[in-house]
Structure 1
C-alpha cells in the first residue's frame, strides 16, 4: 500500500511551487546522509561486500538495501509536517550569503555533527584517501593473505580493528609494496616484518613529538570563537608537503651514513656483531625531581636534556641510539669519540644551573645491533658503570682504557705521561687521563675494573 500511494502523493506535491523548493534540499540532504556509507566502497565489490558485511553485522545499517526502506517510510511523513514552520527556516541562513556567514555555518554544522567528524577530516587530509576497505577487503585487494596483512599492520604499530571499514587505498598500496619485496626475493617475510616494525616505531615517536611539541604551540586560536581544530586543519594542509620532503631527505642522509658503515665492515659478521663504544648518560635524582617539579617544568627539563645530549653526540661523531627521559644511550665507532662525547656531556650539562648532576658510563666491546638498537654484555656493562659512577664524572671499563692508551689518547700511567717529552716521536699530546678505581663485582658480569676518565690539563 505504501509504495503504490507514494507516487500520486509525490506528483501532487510537485504541483505546489512553494514547498517544492524547500522540501527537496531537505530530502536530498537526508538521502545523502543516509547513503554516504555505501558510496565509499568500490563499485566492483558492492555485491560481495554487502553480503560479507551483513553476515558480520558490522555495516548492516549502511548496506544499499537499507536506504530505500528508510526513504519509503519518510515520504508519507512529509504531509504531516506543519506547513507554517517551513517558511520560518529560510530567513536564518539565507540572509548570510557572505564568506563569513558560510564559515560560521560550517562551524555550526561541525558542532551539530559531533566531534567524530573532526578526526576523520584530519585523517583524510593527511593520508589523502577516504576510508573504504575492511581489513579483509584491503588484504584481498593487495593480493596477500589476511594473516600476513595482520602481521604487517601489527608490526607497523596499528591496532586490530576487526572488520570495520577504516582502511584506505594507501593501506592497500603499502601492503602491496611489502608483499612485492617478498615475492621478488629482495626481502624474506621476516625481514619485511622487521622493516615494518622499525619504520612504525620510529615514525610513531616522530609523529607524537611533532603533534605534542610542534603543532600544539602553533595552533593557539587567534579569535575567541575559533577552535584549535579550525586553526590546525589549514596549518597541517600547508606544512604537510614540506615536512614530508624534509623527512625523506633526512632519512636518505641517515641511510647513506649507515650504508657507509656497513661497507667499511671487514666481514659479514661485523655488519651485525661489531665492536663499538657504548655509553649511557643518566640524570641524578630524577625521581625526586618528578615529585617536586610541575609537569610543564619537568617536560622542559627533559627536552633540554635530550636536545643537549643529541647535539653533543652528533657533533662529535656518535649516534644517539635512544632516549629514556632521564637517560640517553649513545654509541661511537671508536673509543676516542665516545670519550670526548662523555666528557662534553658532563661539561655542557654541568654548566647549566637548572640541570641536575649527571653520571656517564662507557664500555667498549662487541655489540649486537638490531633495528637501530644495541644489545649484549657491553651494553649491560655500560649501564652498570653509569649506576656506580661519581656525580658529574665519566667512568669507563678496562677495554675502553686499553684502546685509549693504544691509540695514544691517554697515558698508561701518570709516570709515563711525565716521562714523555712534548712532541716526542711526532705524537700529539695526551687528551685524556685515566685513574684506576677499586675492582668490584658486578651482578651478571663478574669482577669489573672501572677507570675514571677526565680531560688532561695542558
Structure 2
C-alpha cells in the first residue's frame, strides 16, 4: 500500500461485509499455527479480530516513506489510528454504509490497513447522523459525499500539480521537492482552508438565493439559457503545438471564459479543454456572454476561432451539472455554428424578442426602439437526435 493510498483511501473493498479474509486464509490451524476463531464469537467480534490481524500484517510490510507519512499527518492533523472496520464501528455505522460513503468520496480500497484518524470517524458520524435525523436520505448523503469528493479531488490535484509544483523547486542541490514542500504546506494549509470555506459559503449563499427567488414550479423544472463555446480546429492544434504551448492555450481559454461568464452574471458549469459549458437564468445575460466570448477571443491573435451555440428551455440540474434536451440542442448548435459566430434556437430568439432586447423580425422593428441584439433566421436543418431545427444567428445591433 502506498502512502497516497493510505492517506486518501480509507475504505474496504467493494462488497465488504465487515469480515475480510485475513492474509494466509483461515482455518482450524494454518501452517503458521494460527488458531481457529471462537465459534461462539459474534460476526462483529470475528471481523474485528480479522481486522486487527490484517492491520498488523499491513503495518509490518508497508515500508512507507517517512516524509510522506509526516506530510500526511501534518495535513490531516492526526496520526493513523483505525482500520476501516474499527472506524466504522467507532462511528456507529455499518461497514457496508461506511464503504458506500468512502467510495462516493473517491477513496480507493485499502483492505483493513490502519490508515484512518479521528477525523474519518467524525465524518462518518456526521453523515450517518444527518440520515438518522431525517435531514437527508441515505442516497442523498451518498450524493453529498460524491459531489464533495469529486470537487475537492480536482481542486487538490490542481493545487499540487500546478501551484505547489512551481513553488517547490529545490533551492539547493541535495534537497528533494518533498523536503521543500513540507514547510510550505505547513504555512499555506490554514490559509487555503479558510479561503476554501469562504468561497464555498459565498457560492452556497448565491445558489440558495436563486432557489428562494424562484417559485415552486421553477424550483422543480428550471428554465435556463444554456451555452457551449468551442475552439475550432482544436484537434489539429494538439498535433501541431508542443504540450506546454497547448497547456498554456487551454488555460488561457478556460480562464478568460470563466472570468467573462462570472462577470456578466452567468455560471460556468464545466470546462472540457477546448469547450466550456455555461448557463444563465436570463437569455439576455447569456446572449451578452456569448458575444463577449467571440469578441474577446477574436481580439487575441494566439487564440483559434471560436463558435458558440445556445438554447433556452427546461433543464435538469444534478450535482452541479445540467442535462436534458435543451443542453443537447445547445451542443448541436455549437457544432454547426459558423466560425466566430453565435447560433441560438427558436425559444432563445423568442425570449429575446419578448423581453424587448431583440426584434424577432427586422421588418417589424420600430425605429424608435433600441435593441441590444439582432437576430437573423438561418436555414432550417436536421440536427442529429433532435429532428429539424431553425437556428438564428445572434449579433449585436448596429
What is the TM-score of this pair, normalised by structure 2? 0.85
Name the CA distance, whole Å, in 1 between partners of 2:111 and 2:361: 67
The offset of 1:163, in angstroms, is 1.0
Name the CA distance, whole Å, in 2 between partners of 1:299 and 1:275: 35
Partner in structure 2 of residue 3 of structure 1? none
SS of structure 1 residue aligned to 2:342: strand
| Residues 51 and 85 in structure 2, CA contact (< 8 A), matched pair in contact too | no
Partner in structure 2 of residue 366 of structure 1? 314
Name the CA distance, whole Å, in 1 between partners of 2:95 and 2:220: 32
| Residues 272 and 370 in structure 1, CA contact (< 8 A), matched pair in contact too | no
The offset of 1:115, in angstroms, is 6.8
Q: 1:265 to 1:435 in 2, by over 3 A?
A: same
1:348 equivalenced with 2:345 (yes/no): no
Which residue of the other structure, out of 364, 370, 376, is the alignment partner of 1:435? Answer: 376
Question: Between Structure 1 and Structure 2, how many residues are aligned?
Answer: 353
Name the CA distance, whole Å, in 2 between partners of 1:303 and 1:204: 19
Partner in structure 2 of residue 59 of structure 1? 56
Name the CA distance, whole Å, in 2 between partners of 1:50 and 1:202: 33
1:251 equivalenced with 2:249 (yes/no): no
The range that moved more, 287-296 or 372-381, is 287-296
| Residues 385 and 450 in structure 1, CA contact (< 8 A), matched pair in contact too | yes
The offset of 1:282, in angstroms, is 0.6
| Residues 281 and 386 in structure 1, CA contact (< 8 A), matched pair in contact too | yes
Which residue of the other structure, out of 322, 332, 352, is the alignment partner of 1:404? Answer: 352
Name the CA distance, whole Å, in 2 between partners of 1:163 and 1:408: 64
Name the CA distance, whole Å, in 1 between partners of 2:166 and 2:373: 43
Partner in structure 1 of residue 281 of structure 2? 333
Name the CA distance, whole Å, in 2 between partners of 1:184 and 1:389: 51
SS of structure 2 residue aligned to 1:354: coil
1:202 equivalenced with 2:151 (yes/no): yes
| Residues 133 and 168 in structure 1, CA contact (< 8 A), matched pair in contact too | yes
The offset of 1:287, in angstroms, is 1.0
Aligned pairs (5 A) from 1:100-139: 116-139=65-88
Partner in structure 2 of residue 449 of structure 1? 390
Name the CA distance, whole Å, in 1 between partners of 2:101 and 2:88: 11
| Residues 59 and 113 in structure 2, CA contact (< 8 A), matched pair in contact too | no
Name the CA distance, whole Å, in 2 between partners of 1:345 and 1:233: 41
| Residues 436 and 452 in structure 1, CA contact (< 8 A), matched pair in contact too | yes
Aligned pairs (5 A) from 1:36-55: 51-53=49-51
| Residues 84 and 112 in structure 2, CA contact (< 8 A), matched pair in contact too | yes
Partner in structure 1 of residue 254 of structure 2? 306
| Residues 91 and 125 in structure 2, CA contact (< 8 A), matched pair in contact too | yes
Name the CA distance, whole Å, in 2 between partners of 1:272 and 1:315: 27
Name the CA distance, whole Å, in 2 between partners of 1:404 and 1:311: 24
Note the residue ranges of structure 1 that are not aligned, 5 or more in a row. 1-46, 64-112
Which residue of the other structure, out of 281, 304, 308, is the alignment partner of 2:229? Answer: 281
- For residues 208-245 of structure 1, give each alpha carbon's deviation from its aligned partner in whole angstroms, at most 9, with x where no partner exists: 11111111111111112222111111000000000000
SS of structure 2 residue aligned to 1:59: helix
Q: Which has the higher helix share?
A: 1
Name the CA distance, whole Å, in 1 between partners of 2:210 and 2:273: 28
Q: Which has the higher contact order (CA 8 A, sep 6+)?
A: 2
Partner in structure 2 of residue 101 of structure 1? none
The offset of 1:431, in angstroms, is 0.6
The offset of 1:307, in angstroms, is 0.3
Name the CA distance, whole Å, in 2 between partners of 1:405 and 1:219: 55
| Residues 272 and 369 in structure 1, CA contact (< 8 A), matched pair in contact too | no
Partner in structure 1 of residue 4 of structure 2? none
Name the CA distance, whole Å, in 2 between partners of 1:127 and 1:292: 43
Name the CA distance, whole Å, in 2 between partners of 1:455 and 1:284: 22
Aligned pairs (5 A) from 1:77-88: none
The offset of 1:61, in angstroms, is 7.7
Q: 1:53 to 1:414 in 2, by over 3 A?
A: closer
Partner in structure 2 of residue 170 of structure 1? 119
Q: 1:233 to 1:176 in 2, by over 3 A?
A: same
Name the CA distance, whole Å, in 2 between partners of 1:137 and 1:272: 41
Quick check: which has more Rg, 1 or 2? 1
Q: 1:374 to 1:265 in 2, by over 3 A?
A: same
Which residue of the other structure, out of 366, 369, 382, is the alignment partner of 2:330? Answer: 382
| Residues 51 and 83 in structure 2, CA contact (< 8 A), matched pair in contact too | no
The offset of 1:412, in angstroms, is 2.1
Name the CA distance, whole Å, in 2 between partners of 1:54 and 1:316: 57
Partner in structure 1 of residue 10 of structure 2? none
Partner in structure 2 of residue 263 of structure 1? 212
Note the residue ranges of structure 2 that are not aligned, 5 or more in a row. 1-44
Name the CA distance, whole Å, in 1 between partners of 2:145 and 2:261: 27
SS of structure 2 residue aligned to 1:275: strand
Q: 1:200 to 1:61 in 2, by over 3 A?
A: closer
Partner in structure 2 of residue 25 of structure 1? none
- For residues 236-268 of structure 1, give each alpha carbon's deviation from its aligned partner in whole angstroms, at most 9, with x where no partner exists: 00000000000000000000000001111111x
